[in-house]
Homo-oligomer: A and B are copies of this chain.
Amino acid sequence: MKISLDCIPCLIRQALSAARMVSADPAVHQRIVREVLLWIGGMTLEEPPPVLSQRIHRWLRGILGMEDPYRDAKDQQNRMAMSLLPELRAKIEATLDPLPLTMAVRIAIAGNVIDMGVYDNMTESSVRESVRQALTKPFVGDRIGFGKTVREAKSILYLTDNAGEIAFDRLLIEQLSPTRVTVAVRGGPVINDATMTDARAVGLHEIVEIIDNGSDAPGTLLDDCSQEFKRRFTEADLILAKGQGNFETLSDTPGNIFFLFMAKCPVIAAHAGVPIGAHVLVRSNAGNSN
């Protein structure tokens, strides 16, 4: 999906929030906001919003001389999410109806609340509340079609979104027969998006192969990804793509893709045809129907 004019105030708010997250210097905050205004003012507005986020965060890292300014936040998010896993795993195992797969999908979508691109003041209690709601709140989407597609797929490529959330993804992956699953993380740090470090922190390397996509965009911009990732993307029977960033960048891409995310912004909710706040399991419109 292309950037909407409604995304622009939000992207500037995100840039300011990121600047404050990574620096205490008001001159840095102002310099970053000013640069972002001029960038966006001169952009074509034909690309999805994560293209701009990628540029903003590359630039932030450059002027700060920090490879991964969100590393501490991500470590904390992983620890917090891991502390919830035993209780959540027990809930999945105890579930008879709806199926354990459905409960695991709910939990994986609930984990998408751990998003520092959208929320400035995300707390452990807001994550717990999201999970609590998700355990009973039905998601929008074709649960039965999803179950059938998952059963038939020989290979599944699972595109993660954020740190912390990736621990919840592990619970869903455990329900997918992990031997056929490959997990892909971002190729470099951006916001609190999960990288290889986070996948290992939640123990995914113990149950699946993990690859990175070669890109530091907060989404999956295929043109920016490695050849190896693109090959895996094309060859996978089924792609599960977590989070708004992957939806923004892949919603018009052909492929057998299911998107799992919380519709946290009005532009994305409208693009997906769901109410804002909805927990969504949506099949790509551009996808095959195998």
A residues adjacent to B (C-beta < 8 A): 5-6, 8-10, 12-13, 16, 29-30, 33-35, 37-38, 40-42, 45
Interface secondary structure of A, over-half rule? helix
With A38-B37, A41-B34: A16-B12 Cβ-Cβ less than 8 Å? no
Closest to A12 in B: B9
| Nearest CB in chain B: distance from A272 CB, A | 21
Collect the chain B residues with CB atoms within 8 Å of residue A37's CB.
8, 37-38, 40-41
Assess the A29–B5 pair: CB atoms within 8 A: yes
Report Cα–Cα, A12/B37, bound state, in Å.
10
Count of chain copies:
2
Given contacts A9-B12, A9-B16, 10 further A-B contacts (CB under 8 A): A5-B16, A5-B33, A6-B16, A8-B12, A8-B16, A8-B37, A9-B10, A9-B13, A37-B40, A38-B41
Collect the chain B residues with CB atoms within 8 Å of residue A33's CB.
5, 8
Report Cα–Cα, A10/B10, bound state, in Å.
9
| Nearest CB in chain B: distance from A278 CB, A | 21
Pick the residue among B6, B9, B30 that contacts A45 (CB under 8 A). B30
Report Cα–Cα, A40/B41, bound state, in Å.
10
Report Cα–Cα, A206/B9, bound state, in Å.
44
Report Cα–Cα, A155/B205, bound state, in Å.
78
| Nearest CB in chain B: distance from A65 CB, A | 22
Complex A-B: 25 CB contacts under 8 Å: A5-B16, A5-B29, A5-B30, A5-B33, A6-B16, A8-B12, A8-B16, A8-B33, A8-B37, A9-B9, A9-B10, A9-B12, A9-B13, A9-B16, A12-B12, A30-B45, A34-B41, A37-B37, A37-B38, A37-B40, A37-B41, A38-B38, A38-B41, A38-B42, A41-B41
Collect the chain B residues with CB atoms within 8 Å of residue A5's CB.
16, 29-30, 33
Collect the chain B residues with CB atoms within 8 Å of residue A30's CB.
5, 45
Collect the chain B residues with CB atoms within 8 Å of residue A35's CB.
41
Collect the chain B residues with CB atoms within 8 Å of residue A12's CB.
8-9, 12
Q: Which 3 A-B residue pairings sit nearest by Cβ, starting from the closest?
A: A37-B41, A38-B41, A9-B9
| Nearest CB in chain B: distance from A116 CB, A | 17
Collect the chain B residues with CB atoms within 8 Å of residue A38's CB.
37-38, 41-42
Report Cα–Cα, A42/B285, bound state, in Å.
41
